[in-house]
Amino acid sequence: MKIILLIGIFLFCINFAAAQKFENLALTPPMGWNSWNNFGCQVDEKLIRETADAIVSSGMKDAGYQYVVIDDCWHGERDTNGFIRPNPQHFPSGMKALGDYIHSKGLKFGIYSDVGAKTCGGKPGSRGHEYQDAQTYAGWGVDYLKYDWCNSEGLNPVGAYTTMRDALYKTGRPIVFSICEWGDNKPWEWAKPIGHLWRTTGDITHCWDCEENHGSWSSWGIMRILDKQKGLRIHAAPGRWNDPDMMEVGNGMSFSEDRAHFSLWAMLAAPLIAGNDVRKMTKETREILTNKEVVAIDQDALGIQGFPAITEDGLEVWVKPLSNDEWAVCFLNRSNQVKPINFDWKENFIKDDNFQKQLDAGKTSYKVRDLWAKKDLGTTETVLRALIPSHDVLMFRLTR
Ligand code: GLA
């Protein structure tokens, strides 16, 4: 009787152990590159290898970019036993060889699938093949799975994402699980024990403040995505991040807009997943993506998402509490005109009620570092006087 009870407890424990996500992954927001924003369905092994090379040679790897993620359309057909295979014309060497190549560069390998029977691009999805696919990915050396929500009719999101989480866990390979459910079912309320990041919105597009209507769905410009993050910061923490979508830096906006976009993603503690052609980027794009001091704001170990503390007339002052009682402060000019700022740090007491932090330059004098000019500006004793170009930012780190 006792033995049966013990076996019962043992089996319960095994089962219980299976029901979790990999902990201690993504303790800071994941950084990497994803093929979708610039290449859509035009993906092949040459592109992915060249991209891995460029991530190293451009200094992106050195700045922290790690995951090389192949988005939709890498798929071929399932074989007679149901195992998914890559498109043989586009990935003739196979995914294991590609994963090995990415790993040989000191980078990590990411892939894409979907909860439905078909992906958004009409390729085979994982529905009914979750455990088999997870096993296949682990065999290929996959380190990151983005899991989409197309053709999910009738599926319960918590159940669908939990199934894949469990399947990944069962492989024994630590795989970051990126939930791409577009915020439709408020994943920030249920996805913490399931994934390491979850999309909060529909797809991003490379414009400042537009909505691109595609009929049954829309994609959104940078400001539109930014505004949809309101109220979500309490849900982010090390190991679980709000994902406002992959970046559009280098995909056609102005230098100012790209710089503002990148700065704001850092203020949001967003995953920094580049979405441009890193093989051919301009010096300006490279300098934005590899600004280590801005990356450090995103990657701060405290893992607190920033928020707009002051909003007036097209100007916003975003703040983000950092480790060691430091702060990031980002002045955003959303308007179409240049804006002068005259900011007395001492007069602007800022309180973060969600995380019990206070930025009180009246009491504490901070040193001020301009993260884009890469210059020390003095202290918060001095009133900040500057001009911010339209659709641009000024970004500072305040240290003690
Ligand atoms: C959805 C996702 C995108 C991308 C495409 C691929 O739209 O939100 O990020 O993965 O599918 O088809």
Q: Which atom of ligand 1 lies at the shortest distance from residue 217's CA?
A: 7
Give the Cα separation of 90 and 113 in Å (integer). Answer: 17
Residue 149 CA to ligand 1 center (angstroms) comes to 9
Question: What b/e string do you get for 118-148 counting C-beta neighbours within 10 Å, with b at 16 or more?
Answer: ebbbebbbbbebbbbbbbbbbebbbbbbbbb
121 lines ligand 1 (CB under 6 A): yes
pLDDT of amino acid 16? 47
* Among candidate residues 57, 50, 60, the one with its CA nearest the CA of residue 102: 50
Which amino acid, residue 165? Answer: R
316 lines ligand 1 (CB under 6 A): no
Show pLDDT as tens, one digit a residue, over the chain (400 residues). Answer: 555 555 555 544 445 455 699 999 999 999 999 999 999 999 999 999 999 999 999 999 999 999 999 999 999 999 999 999 999 999 999 999 999 999 999 999 999 999 999 999 999 999 999 999 999 999 999 999 999 999 999 999 999 999 999 999 999 999 999 999 999 999 999 999 999 999 999 999 999 999 999 999 999 999 999 999 999 999 999 999 999 999 999 999 999 999 999 999 999 999 999 999 999 999 999 999 999 999 999 999 999 999 999 999 999 999 999 999 999 999 999 999 999 999 999 999 999 999 999 999 999 999 999 999 999 999 999 999 999 999 999 999 999 9
Which of 36, 43, 273 should be mutated for ligand 1, with most atoms under 8 A from CB?
A: 36
pLDDT of amino acid 176? 98
